[in-house]
A and B are shown apart, each in its own frame.
Chain A
Amino acid sequence: MKKYTFTEKKDTRSGFGAGLLEAGKRNSNVVALCADLVGSLKMEAFIKEFPERFFQMGIAEANMMGVAAGMTIGGKIPFTGTFANFSTGRVYDQIRQSIAYSGKNVKICASHAGLTLGEDGATHQILEDIGLMKMLPGMTVINTCDYNQTMAATIAVAEYEGPVYLRFGRPVMPIFTAPDQKFEIGKAWMVNEGADVSIFATGHLVWEAILAGEKLAEMGIDAEIINIHTIKPLDGEAVLKSAAKTGCVVTAEEHNRLGGLGDSIAQLLVRNNPVPQEYVAVNDSFGESGKPAELMTKYGLDSAHIVGAVERVMKRAG
């Protein structure tokens, strides 16, 4: 197992804030919109640098999505910012008609996704957003795993033409990916090459997969760990290549089991190479209040649950 260490923890949303500032410096057409959550989305640095390119929308997310769509007409590249729940479910029809169906170059940037939002509870902890967004034709769906990757992804989506859903979170997480990395949309990242089982992880679950990989190595299991940061378009080649090698798959995500990364991979496998798969995901339920780590354990999303899923899937594969 390749060794991953970290010297610092930061929140992925701060990576977004840093990436937005950098994207703004690189391209004067980048504009930012926020629905009364500037501090939560870490947009202060962009606002300070480019006050005339920032639009405070108030608590009016539907209007924010429509205004963002309209701003693309004339060449702006709007980044909208609010919590994942208010970035998707609340404004689904606005995104569907005005952005996705209309093919508008809007970057929907969503913080506080999933259970790790923590104490605010289930009203704010959306676990369905990946599914909602990936069902929209033409929508790119990205879920980043640490500060550096989020910063790189934010810069990359500014350079990409088309609607994007960029999902990140609230809690501080180890920084274990390279600074100044080049983020390739739609290209999976090989975290650790292995032979016995394929673990496909996205978002905060990538670090948990690394911890699980270390534990599995102690148990004599050689796990391949692949980070699927882009859920759509899925890097089918990387997934199928790994599944063919190991013959069994575990998917790990901070999302409902229905409609997330696991389902995208299952669909790919069933059409090409049906091998046993186990899901590490929320089992079709809402979340609740609590500390992020407590919730991840209670809802089965930590490294111990990944280890358990690996043992089950390897047994099934025989």
Chain B
Amino acid sequence: MTENINELKATTFQVRRDIVRMVHQCQSGHPGGSLGCADYFVALYFRILKHDTDFKMNGTGEDLFFLSNGHISPVWYSVLARSGYFGTEELATFRKINSRVQGHPATAEHLPGIRIASGSLGQGLSAAIGAALTKKLNNDPSLVFSLHGDGELQEGQIWEAAMFASHNKVDNLISTIDANGQQIDGPTEKVLSLGNLRAKWEAFGWDVLEMKGNDMEDVIRVLELAKSKAFNGKPVMILMHTSMGYGVDFMMGSHKWHGAAPNDEQLAAALAQLEETIGDY
């Protein structure tokens, strides 16, 4: 397990390279949110999670992670491969036919690390709550983590799940929202404003933390803080403030790179900003 912050930061550069290369290679996919969440994923898989890369669906005794906004699959695949769930060469098959590395995360092809399909938005919080309830029934003291997009909060199922989790004191759950303020059709505030997210989640009975999602020190600090708040009777929600496209200057802060692939020139320009720290796949 990587303990050193500088090593974690170096890993984020390689993961961001993986993301833009994967999306470029198949000329489809979602680089924006993937780049924005790279720091969170690296912190989670290389520092925070107690997990076993010898993948077992039931995950007994392990911390579990659920990705609800499945379209940011490139960052998850990169981190799963880089942490040893499967070979990095498989990243080259992303979104291609006969691949385990599907456009959106799936279990049907048995890619190690994935426990449920996601992509149709709003469903992952319910699944994470279910897994957390089973851990409680099994007297398994490990934790469940989940990640959600902010645009995804427009789905009603999220709020059904939010109500259920606090009512039932699902306090072995640490959820995070990627609050980048962007969705496909534009800024969330223009498409369908989310209002005061902190107040909303607090009103739904969650313990709410805020995190600078593109600052590794703060990501580690807040995730550790969140772990210390587990088992206190409330589910924990982290509002993670990120910039969509973080790490590639011309992709940053715009919804235009939510689901668009870079061309050859743009790829070169992006890679020039992202040092090859571990080695490309």
Measured CB to CB, the residues of A under 8 A from B are 31, 52-53, 55, 57-58, 60, 62-76, 78, 93-94, 96-98, 101-104
Contact = CB atoms under 8 A, between A and B. Distances in A.
24 contacts: A52-B137, A60-B164, A62-B122, A63-B157, A66-B124, A66-B126, A66-B127, A67-B133, A67-B164, A68-B130, A70-B129, A70-B131, A70-B134, A71-B134, A73-B134, A74-B135, A74-B138, A75-B58, A97-B117, A97-B120, A97-B123, A98-B126, A101-B106, A102-B106
B138 A93 contact: no
Contacts of A71: 130-131, 133-134
Contact of A104 (B64, B66, B116): B116
B164 A63 contact: yes
Closest 5 CB pairs between A and B? A70-B130, A66-B126, A74-B134, A60-B160, A63-B160
B115 interface: yes
Interface in B58-79: 58-60, 64, 66
Task: Bin the interface of chain B by size.
Answer: 35 or more
B108 A67 contact: no
B111 interface: no
B189 to A, nearest CB: 26
A68 B164 CA distance: 13
Given A66-B126, A94-B123, A103-B108, A73 B164 contact: no
Nearest to B129: A67
Contacts of B168: 55
A55 B129 CA distance: 12
A62 B120 contact: no
Nearest to B125: A66
Nearest to B135: A74
B266 to A, nearest CB: 32
Contacts of A66: 123-127, 129-130, 157, 161
B130 A69 contact: yes
B71 to A, nearest CB: 13
B37 interface: no
Nearest to A60: B160
A31 B137 contact: yes
B156 interface: yes
B163 interface: yes
